Amino acid sequence: MSQGSDPELLSFASDLIEQRGGLVECLPDRVLALLPPVLAETLGLPEETPLGGEETPLLYGSPVLDRLVAVATGQAPVVYGQIGVPYLKKAGFGELIGHDLIFVDGQVRVATRAEARTTYLVLTCRYVALSDERKEGLVQVGVHEASGAVVEGLESVWTEGQPHFFPSGMVPPHFPVKLEHVVSCAMESARNGIEQELADFLGSMRRRLHRDVKNTREYYEALKKEMEASLSHPNLTEGQRQERLSKIMDLPAEMARKVEDLKQKYQVDITITACAGLRLLVAIAQVMLEVRFRKLTRSVRVIWNPLTRRLDPLVCERCHNTIRKIHPAATDQRIELLCFRCAQRR
């Protein structure tokens, strides 16, 4: 084996090139690759190129490996899986109304129940909080792909379903193509979770800012009193007196600049990045509810999730926030399902 190759790196390069539409022939000490034009341009290599030889060594720290890693991490990787459960709840859904889902001022009854499949996204996000200190970590959020509802607890229980993962190129067509709205909902939920996780850190920064601002103001107040007292010194010339008066007048502006510097120092910038996605096709119980409000009636589909063992939340039909307490509203001779805030704005 030549010094220009590493078995693990050769395997990594082969997998990445095939995933990006290229062709590879694996030899004991190198990989012969046929790269798609876009990938070849990104890597700065000819479309037909050997990797791992003396001309293009594939070693830790080599430029080619750095570019391959940049390609691999440029987009969040997504894995597809399927969860089949041995048992789906068949009855007792009416008992969950008022517990998992609360309909305010509306009459609800269970109409029908059927078995179906739906898809969920478990998004892993990385955050970095920068201030006078640095905090970073990972959070996961589970979202129902059809509605964008955040399903609390899904991120921690999906492994219990023992998912079967689909090989590349063999993913079934059940997964929605467009995920912009779902990812947006997941990122917003992740942000809220991160702010809660960083509550102690953010509180510490606020306390330190308050302490330093208080000390700064006390310092300038003491300095002002000292300089004012020195104005009565008998050996002070008129020029020195005027200079000292000018400095005293400048103290508030100087203190304001110091306070603003402290605010910048303790300001916390939080960056959130989606770094991995898990999409799951899950067998569920689909329940149709009949909702009556005033003289109006409508059907509402809800999902009993076998992973969380409860009804999934719904989304407000105006602001699209996840809700478990639903406020029916009569609008244009139809029933809208709203959150409390949107219901108050009618």
d(CA 189, CA 186): 5
108, 97 in Cβ contact below 8 A? Answer: yes
Number of Cβ within a 10 Å radius of residue 214: 10
Beta strands at 164-165 and 310-311: parallel, antiparallel or unpaired:
unpaired
Quote the DSSP letter at residue 75. S
Strand partners for 122: 142, 278
Q: What is the pLDDT of residue 2?
A: 47
CA distance 19 to 266: 44
Enter the tokens of residue 198.
């960083």
Which pLDDT does position 212 carry in this prediction? Answer: 94
Q: HEC profile for 242-279? A: HHHHHHHHHHHHHHHHHHHHHHHHHCCEEEEEEEEEEE
Q: Give me the phi and psi of 313, to 5 degrees please.
A: -70, 165
pTM over 0.85? The answer is no
List the pLDDT tens digit at each of the 346 positions of the chain: 445 567 888 888 888 888 888 898 888 788 888 998 888 888 888 889 888 877 788 888 788 888 888 887 667 788 999 998 888 888 889 889 989 999 998 789 999 999 999 999 999 999 998 887 888 899 999 999 999 999 999 999 999 888 999 987 788 989 988 888 899 999 999 998 898 888 898 898 899 999 999 999 999 999 999 888 888 888 878 888 888 889 889 999 999 999 999 998 888 888 898 888 999 999 999 999 999 998 899 999 999 999 999 999 999 999 999 999 999 998 888 999 999 999 888 6
| Tally of helices (H runs) and strands (E runs) in the chain | 8, 15
Q: What's the alpha-carbon Rg for the chain, to the nearest Å? A: 31
Alpha-carbon distance values, 13 to 80, 212, 250, 261, 344 (Å) = 22, 52, 64, 48, 57
Amino acid at 193: G
Give me the helix-helix angle, 199-230 and 180-197, nearest 10°.
60
State the pLDDT at residue 29.
80
> Pick from 169, 140, 173: which is nearest to 157 by CA?
140
Residues 6+ apart with CB under 8 A from 31: 10, 13, 14, 17, 24, 25, 50, 51, 52, 58
CA dist., res. 249 & res. 251, Å (int): 6
- Nearest CA to 64 out of 81, 82, 46, 79 is that of 46
d(CA 110, CA 304): 12
The structure tokens listed for 290 are 């009949």
Contact 6, 59 (CB under 8 A): yes
